[in-house]
Structure 1
Amino acid sequence: MHANDLNFVAIADNGKLVGFNVLVGGGLAMTHGDTSTYPRRADDFGFVPLEKTLDVAAAVVTTQRDWGNRSNRKNAKTKYTLDRVGIDVFKAEVEKRAGISFEQSRPYEFTERGDRIGWVEGIDGKYHLALFIENGRLLDFPGKPLKTGVAEIAKIHKGDFRMTANQNLIVAKVSKSNKAKIEKIAREHGLMDDAVSEQRKNSMACVAFPTCPLAMAEAERFLPSFVTDVESILDKHQIPSDESIILRITGCPNGCGRAMLAEIGLVGKAPADTTCT
């Protein structure tokens, strides 16, 4: 959550969403050999109530728009603006534009990360099916016609399809009457595979060769076999099957494989009477 320009940590009180802790100015990317670029952890500006969330988001974006470096693309991110003008100055401008004063951040604790693969029931009574898609490649593979399977689901699905920051796919807003039909199609086409390990679900790579012009090495095409090797090592040392290493492979120093996870795929629980998701 601290690795992107703007993040919101949701805070709930007795199961009801009440607002967000606002994190500003993170970023993992850097240009190799350019010391004016660097990774940076986002700063916690504080808590805002739910009704002010969009106002704060607009204020952060417009402040960066007006104050950010427009002459050097490599120094255009919010993290560099914060370091140049000062955190307190930037925060005061956001408060002015949003018409709010940040409260002290509410306590929270992250206890999980990644997507909840499988079925989850929403508060609206609809069901959401998160499908693990290795490397985000929705293709028809031998014995696993994933693309055809999604096309078949689309013929009967009345809700949404959503992509996640972890390269997976969510079949969202599934009615109870369609739940069994969609699961049957997903299993028949290899979209739901109980044999996929937790390690593979928590491993990801940037595209690298041959897609990215910045690539210096393999990443995406190397990942599947590398995960198999890691699984063997975990088995050798008797690591429980429900545990895994958060594994990222990148094909150059920009580290896109690290950055892709950071924004959405975190789930947490806060102490006392607050919770965070």
Structure 2
Amino acid sequence: MSTDQALSPVDEFKRDSNYLRGEIAQEFVDGSDHFGKSSIQLMKHFGVYQQDDRDARSANRAAGGGKSYIFMIRTRIPAGVLTSDQMLVELDLCDELGNETLRITSRQGLQHHGVMKEGLQPLAQKLKQVGLSTLGACGDVNRNVMCCPAPLFGDSVRREMQETASKLADHLAPRTGAYREIFLQDPETGEKEKIATGEVVEPLYGKQYLPRKFKMGMALPEDNCIDVYTHDLGMICVHENGQILGYNILVGGGQGRTPSADKTFPALGQRLTFVTTEQLIPVIEAIVKVQRDFGNREDRKVARMKYLIHNWGLEKFKAKVEEYYGSSLPEPHPADVHGFDDHKGWHAQGDGKWFYGLNVENGRIKDDETMQLKTAIRKICRQFNPGIRLTAHQDIIFSDINEADKEALIEILKSHQVPLTEDISNVRRWSMACVAWPTCGLSITESERALPGIIDGLEAELAKLGLAAEEFTVRMTGCPNGCARPYNSDVGLVGRAKEKYTLFLGGRLLGNRLSFIYKDMVPAGDVTPELTKVFAFFKAAREEGESFGDFCHRQGKEAIEAAVGQ
């Protein structure tokens, strides 16, 4: 491990924390409604973010008060696979301890928002009772392991992949007892972990954990529904005749960037090697250890593995992975992604039962005057006890539905005013937004609350142009961190200033190409008119069968500007 570089404040916090303990336990009982700087960073490893209600800031300041502290706590759910009982507990907890909404994340997890400090431990304890955990959902460790969640059981490939995702999540989880001590038992009376002399507490992560967050996911060549090229470590399952031969390993993806810092950039993964199923975990361990030992610990802006690979080059990186693994690694298998399925609507599972993929706009599960989605999901879980699968597009799948129950499930959704997947437009179906205001402290402007209105406008304009049937992704984030993966989508909208966005074009639904900046600082009200002009050009000049993203990529920024005018 390199020891000649200075450490960022966060790395110092981790180093001095006694394996993520720090002062968290003491601050839980100090009478305050928030935590200190060190604890804020350490608690991310337990799935917890300290935030403040940004909608309340102006009123608080006018009244001479401070911040209204709230917390987000995220459940780690490998491959997005849940039971109905687990989903019901999550729904109950959002009412009892959160802001009465639950959010499906773009990494197949679940988030509670608006939780108060005193609710964090009870929430984690109740999740534990049904086999769920928030440990490793955030922080400088491997986060939720993504995988195609579709319950297609005609062959064993997806089921084996989902099981492997769960094994990887367990294998790469932090080993420290801090989470158990602080969150799952009374910190004043609970028994502290006894560490034997010489025992290695974190054999994979070490005392300082990773330099930055680490994300991984598994996809199929014919179904890249988890955006495999956007991960620090991606795995493309190579299979023939229902048997998994192994995995192509991709390295160095990542969406975050800082517009004011040219040294930062979004990146797609690069093809590193092919490994058999038996080699998978040892090779992944080697990759994680290389990032642990050589990733930048001084500047968190460039601490992700994509920057290490950018600085070293893929050849040097692979040589170091081989050194850690202890053997040479072959070239990748020719297999690559070539298809994408969002798994929405009705599908036969292959075992005599059915699953239904329901579009959940921007992943927000709630009840309001227009729709009672939360109540509908509760009723479906109680009446049919389906399996629950969360997708990378923030949607929900109800699995294991009997043929005789299909109509009754749809009737529950209709009676609670929940739009069916079959009844929504393509542009809405393929849209996605991050949380942004009012809870995310990093957001510059709106996203989740702004995108539905933009989609309303696009629906009308696309219908006028006769392009309503086109399939393309629209992804929006409130800041450049890119949580909704806007940099490889057909249309990306990234918060740049209050109610202003950078407009990206030229990615693609398949997810294996980055987009380009078309226009910067676009006012929210101008987004739909700007896109409408480009869609009109697309209709007039597209090649036969060409997608919108491919068209924009072929034309490029200058040609589009010349065609549509300024």
Normalising by structure 2, we get a TM-score of 0.43
SS at match of 1:37: coil
1:31 aligns with one of 258, 261, 267: 258
What is the alpha-carbon distance in structure 1 between the residues aligned to residue 389 and residue 347 of structure 2? Answer: 14
1:89 to 316, 319, 327: 316
Higher mean C-alpha displacement, 251-260 vs 87-96: 251-260
2:474 is the counterpart of 1:258 = no
2:448 alignment partner in structure 1: 220
- For these two proteins, the number of residue pairs brought into alignment is 264
**How far is 1:181 from its partner?**
4.3
Partners of 1:47 and 1:80 in 2: CA distance: 22
> Where in structure 2 are there 5+ consecutive unaligned residues?
1-227, 490-508, 513-566
Deviation at residue 124 of structure 1 after TM alignment: 5.1
Match of 2:373 in 1: 146
In structure 2, relative to structure 1, the CA distance for the partners of 1:178 and 1:49 (3 Å cut) is: farther
Distance 2:290 2:407 in 1: 48
Going from structure 1 to structure 2, the CA distance change for 1:93 and 1:184 (only over 3 Å counts) comes to farther
Which structure is larger by alpha-carbon Rg, 1 or 2?
2
Aligned to 1:21: 248
Is 1:107 the equivalent of 2:317?
Answer: no
> Aligned-residue CA RMSD in angstroms?
2.9
Structure 1 unpaired stretches of 5+: 269-277
Supply the distance in 2 between the matched residues of 1:70 and 1:255 (Cα, whole angstroms): 22
Describe the shift of the 1:84–1:94 C-alpha distance in structure 2 as closer, same or farther (beyond 3 A): same
Q: 1:80 aligned to 2:307? A: yes
Identity %: 35
Q: Does residue 296 of structure 2 align to residue 42 of structure 1?
A: no
Query: 1:205: how far off?
Result: 1.5
Please tell me whether the aligned partners of residues 166 and 260 of structure 1 are also in contact (alpha carbons under 8 angstroms): no
Q: Which residue of 2 aligns with 1:206?
A: 434
Deviation at 1:222, TM superposition (A): 1.2
Q: Give the letter aligned to residue 196 of structure 1.
A: I
The residue identity in structure 2 corresponding to 1:13 is: E
Pairwise CA distance, 1:247: 1.0
Deviations 1:132-156 (Å, cap 9, x if unpaired)? 1001110113242100011112213
**Which structure is higher in RCO with an 8 Å CA cutoff and minimum separation 6?**
1
1:238 corresponds to which of 452, 466, 469: 466
Residue 349 of structure 2 corresponds to residue 122 of structure 1: yes
Segment of structure 1 superposing worse, 192-201 or 50-59: 50-59
Relative to structure 1, the CA distance from residue 259 to residue 227 in structure 2 (aligned partners, 3 Å threshold; closer, same or farther) is closer
Deviations 1:82-135 (Å, cap 9, x if unpaired)?
A: 12333223213333444562333323342335x221123335555332211001
Whichever residue aligns with residue 258 of structure 2, its letter is T
SS of equivalent residue, structure 2 residue 234? strand
Amino acid at match of 1:71: E
Other structure's SS at 2:298 match:
coil
Q: Secondary structure of the equivalent of 2:245?
A: strand
- Residue 45 of structure 1 and its aligned partner are, at CA, apart by 0.6
- In the alignment, the residues of structure 1 paired with residue 309 and residue 447 of structure 2 have an alpha-carbon distance, to the nearest angstrom, of 32
User: TM-score scaled to structure 1, two decimals?
Assistant: 0.82
For 1:76 and 1:159, how far apart are their aligned partners in 2? 41
- 3-state DSSP class of the match of 1:208? coil
Quick one: which amino acid aligns to residue 102 of structure 1?
Answer: P
Change (3 A) 1:69 1:175: farther
Cα distance change of structure 1 residues 122 and 100 upon mapping to structure 2, 3 Å threshold: farther
* Partner amino acid, structure 1, of 2:469: D
| Structure with greater strand share of residues | 1
Deviation at 1:37, TM superposition (A): 1.7
CA separation of 1:217 and 1:95: change in aligned 2, threshold 3 A:
same
Code of the residue aligned with 1:130 in structure 2: it is G
Once the two structures are TM-superposed, the CA of residue 179 in structure 1 deviates from its matched residue by 4.7
Question: Is 1:166–2:393 an aligned residue pair?
Answer: yes
Are 1:64 and 2:291 matched, yes or no?
yes
Bigger helix fraction: 2
Deviates more, 1:248-257 or 1:123-132: 123-132
Task: Quickly say closer, same or farther: Cα 1:78–1:175, change in 2 above 3 A.
Answer: farther
